[in-house]
Amino acid sequence: MRKANRIITILIFIFLYIPMAVLIVASFNTGKDITSFDGFTLRQYERLFQDRSLLKLLGNSLIVSVLASAIATMFGTVAAVGITGLNPRLRKAAMTLTDIPMTNPDIVTGVSLSLLFVFVGSRLLGQRNSLTFWTLLIAHITFNLPYVVLNVMPKLKQMDDSLVDAAMDLGCTPVQAFFKVTLHEIMPGIVSGAIMAFTMSLDDFVISYFVTGMDFITLPVEIYSYTKKPLQPKIYAMFSLLFLLILVLMVTMNLLELYGDKKKLQERAAKMKG
């Protein structure tokens, strides 16, 4: 049974990562046809970094991702702390509301946000162009919040509440106790939530497509227009670099979680010896 499970797991991973392997190989191909490898070259990466329009679009995506993940991390952390302080019934209701945006189809979320922004912009604010950079940023913050909350909540549950009480007994105010004790204890969850929010924001297309205006376009939205014609090999290089970036972030997130768990085990072992 174990052997069968291993074989199935290996097949699943092969199925998931073969497309990325083909894409990466194609980014080093001298020819334009991905079905045949004519030779190794770095020319596609050179052309990518010479294309100012693509680099500008990538810069737009990075700006939105960094801002959205930073703001979502701040509000998501505060929300997680507030939810933890609720009674069990209200906490369950709050977590259910938090889970809905994650299970809701992206196209429904995108259309809903688009209708909301157009209504508020045209009817209430009197703006002619309702969809702008700010609507895109708000949309990204909205769908990033649940990921931050769900990464911070487990760390809050694992934290020893007596540490906060001890800090307040020693003269700290609740705010000081939060920054000196709680924030330190849940930092691995905050970092994991921030990285998750950044990666979700960086490659989002569906929601961004419905809330993006003409003045600020992200890379995934622009790449969609390229699918109607044969892709240029430099696009393969762009995708390969994005995949590498997200892979590095995911590995970093997992290493931080392992480091945090290992540190807590060492602290508990030291307390037991003491």
pLDDT tens digits for 138-179? 999 999 999 999 999 988 888 877 878 788 877 888 888 888
pLDDT score, position 272: 64
pLDDT score, position 94: 87
**10/259 Cα distance (integer angstroms):** 27
Q: List C-alpha distances in Å: 79 to 2, 86, 151, 156, 228.
A: 42, 11, 12, 12, 42
Across 133-145, b (16+ Cβ under 10 Å) vs e yields: bebbbbbbbbbbb
- Tally of domains within the chain: 1
Q: Decide: 261 and 187 in contact? Cβ < 8 Å.
A: no
Least confident of 32-41, 95-104, 107-116, 163-172: 32-41
> What is the CB-side half-sphere exposure of residue 210 using CA atoms within 13 A?
18
pLDDT score, position 262: 74
3-class SS at 7?
Answer: helix
pTM of the predicted model as reported, rounded to 2 decimal places: 0.81
In a domain, 45, yes or no: no
Least confident of 33-37, 78-82, 97-101, 174-178: 33-37
> pLDDT digit string (tens) for 226-272?
766 677 778 888 888 888 888 888 788 777 777 766 776 776 666 66
**% of residues, the chain, pLDDT over 70:** 92
**% of residues, the chain, pLDDT over 90:** 17
pLDDT score, position 1: 67
**166/271 Cα distance (integer angstroms):** 15
Q: Decide: 41 and 30 in contact? Cβ < 8 Å.
A: yes
DSSP state of 131: -
> pLDDT digit string (tens) for 42-57?
888 888 888 888 888 8
On the question of pLDDT at 274 being above 70, the answer is: no
pLDDT score, position 48: 84
Which one, of 243, 273, 217, lies nearest residue 63 by Cα? 217
pLDDT score, position 241: 85
In a domain, 23, yes or no: no
pLDDT score, position 267: 67
In a domain, 22, yes or no: no
Domain of 98, CATH number, reads: 1.10.3720.10
In a domain, 79, yes or no: yes
- Supply 216's token pair: 């600020």
In a domain, 44, yes or no: no
Least confident of 29-33, 45-49, 51-55, 128-132: 29-33
pLDDT score, position 138: 93
The segment with the largest mean pLDDT, out of 69-73, 106-110, 224-228, is 69-73
**159/182 Cα distance (integer angstroms):** 8
Q: List C-alpha distances in Å: 90 to 93, 124, 132, 253.
A: 5, 33, 36, 30
What mean pLDDT, rounded, does the chain reach? 84
Task: Give me the domain span that covers residue 247.
Answer: 58-273
Residue-wise DSSP of 200-233: HHHT--HHHHHH--SS---HHHHHHHHTTSPPPH
In a domain, 257, yes or no: yes
Helices of type H across the chain: 2-27, 43-50, 52-84, 88-103, 106-119, 133-158, 161-169, 174-177, 183-185, 187-202, 206-211, 219-226, 233-273
In a domain, 76, yes or no: yes
On the question of pLDDT at 77 being above 90, the answer is: yes
In a domain, 50, yes or no: no
Q: What is the CA radius of gyration of the chain?
A: 23
